[in-house]
Amino acid sequence: MRQQVFKALTGAALVVAAAFGTSAAYAQNCSVWLVENSRFMGVPFGAFQPDRSYVQGSTDPKNNINTVDLPVNVGVIKCGKELILYDNGWNQTDYHKATGTDHWSPLSKQIAQLGFKADDVSKIIIGHGHWDHAGSLDEFPNAVLYVQAEELRGIEWALNYPGHERIRATNVDKGGCSRTPACGYPPKTVDSIYGKVLRGKAVIVNGEMEVLPGVRIHPAHRAHTAGSQLLEVPTAIGKLVFGSDAYSSWEAIRDWEVANIQQTDSVQQFLAYEKCYKITGGYQNCVAAHEPLSYTDKYPLTKNSWVGMNGGRLAEITLAPGETSRKK
188, 130 contact by CB (below 8 A): no
Total residues interacting with other proteins, rule: CB under 8 A: 60
6 binds other proteins (CB under 8 A): no
169 binds other proteins (CB under 8 A): yes
Residue 253 CB partners (closer than 8 Å, separation 6+):
243, 247, 273, 276, 283, 286, 288
From the list 11, 100, 141, 281, which residue makes contact with other proteins (rule: CB under 8 A)?
100
Residue 80 Cβ vs other proteins, minimum distance, rounded to whole Å: 30
Shorter beta-carbon distance to other proteins: residue 61 or 175: 175
E strands in the chain: 31-44, 67-79, 82-86, 101-102, 123-125, 144-148, 202-205, 209-212, 215-219, 229-235, 238-242, 286-287, 305-307, 313-318
From the list 30, 35, 70, 301, which residue makes contact with other proteins (rule: CB under 8 A)?
70
95 binds other proteins (CB under 8 A): yes
307 binds other proteins (CB under 8 A): yes
From the list 1, 5, 25, 198, which residue makes contact with other proteins (rule: CB under 8 A)?
198
97 binds other proteins (CB under 8 A): yes
Task: Single out the residue of 60, 57, 58, 55 nearest to residue 44, CA to CA.
Answer: 55
247 binds other proteins (CB under 8 A): no
316, 326 contact by CB (below 8 A): yes
Residue 202 CB partners (closer than 8 Å, separation 6+):
144, 145, 146, 147, 193, 196
Q: Give the integer Cα–Cα distance in Å for 87 and 68.
A: 22
92 binds other proteins (CB under 8 A): yes
93 binds other proteins (CB under 8 A): yes
Residue 179 Cβ vs other proteins, minimum distance, rounded to whole Å: 10
From the list 184, 227, 243, 292, which residue makes contact with other proteins (rule: CB under 8 A)?
184
Shorter beta-carbon distance to other proteins: residue 205 or 231: 205
